[in-house]
């Protein structure tokens, strides 16, 4: 099964630009780098430590939408090496991501660790799950010390992932990370 990020990212127009700019030959090798849709221990550890990520979706009108998602570290949980899930907390009640997922179901998760300048891109198909239909998953995703109301669950079936380069990431630190430093 050929399922790595190049299948989704390297469209004909992208390959044309790569050819024009001289990077196509190098990236053609990436297309043969094997399947990258099952998370290894490195990706699992990275995902489980995140307290936020960016979620992009596309509406029926073809326009992309990007939303910040946050919670306590580990609110985005690894269910298995091919599946992630999270509680969907109540917010501003626009429901743009929810509607886009219901309509199209294709998303990208962009996870970044600013202090270490690492980022992970995950292509996925997503499902909006109603709490009453998934009590076991809801219990697994429960965050007893976090005071947010969970409206529904989001499940992400990983199609591909790729680690992105560190170039141009400015290190940023949370208050908790600064307080933990032994200065």
77 and 9 belong to one structural domain = no
Chain centroid offset of residue 149 CA: 21
Q: How far apart are CA 171 and CA 164, in angstroms?
A: 15
DSSP state of 133: G
Residue 99 domain boundaries: 38-175
| Domain contains 180 | no
Alpha-carbon dihedral angle through residues 144, 51, 37, 121, given to the nearest 10 degrees = 160
Task: Kindly give, in sequence order, each residue whose CB lies less than 8 Å from that of residue 142, ignoring residues fewer than 6 positions away.
Answer: 87
47 and 22 belong to one structural domain = no
Domain count, the chain: 2
Q: How far apart are CA 141 and CA 84, in angstroms?
A: 10
20 and 50 belong to one structural domain = no
Q: Which stretches of the chain drop beneath a pLDDT of 50? A: 1-2
What is the predicted pLDDT for the residue at 29? 80
pLDDT digits (tens, 9 = 90+) for 21-52: 999 988 888 777 777 789 999 999 999 999 99
């Amino acid at each position: 099964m050929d399922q790595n990020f190049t299948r989704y990212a390297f469209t004909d127009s992208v390959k044309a630009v790569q050819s024009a700019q001289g990077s196509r030959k190098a990236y053609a090798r990436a297309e043969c780098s094997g399947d990258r849709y099952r998370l290894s221990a490195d990706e699992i550890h990275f995902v489980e430590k995140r307290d936020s990520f960016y979620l992009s979706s596309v509406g029926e009108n073809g326009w992309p939408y990007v939303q910040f998602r946050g919670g306590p570290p580990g609110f985005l949980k690894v269910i298995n090496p091919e599946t992630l899930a999270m509680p969907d907390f109540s917010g501003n009640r626009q429901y743009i991501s929810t509607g886009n997922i219901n309509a199209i179901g294709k998303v990208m998760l962009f996870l970044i660790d600013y202090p270490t300048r690492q980022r992970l891109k995950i292509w996925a198909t997503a499902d909006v799950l109603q709490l009453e239909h998934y009590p076991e998953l809801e219990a697994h995703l429960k965050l007893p010390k976090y005071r947010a109301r969970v409206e529904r669950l989001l499940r992400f079936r990983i199609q591909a992932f790729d680690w992105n380069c560190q170039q141009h990431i400015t290190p940023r630190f949370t208050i908790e990370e600064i307080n933990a430093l032994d200065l």
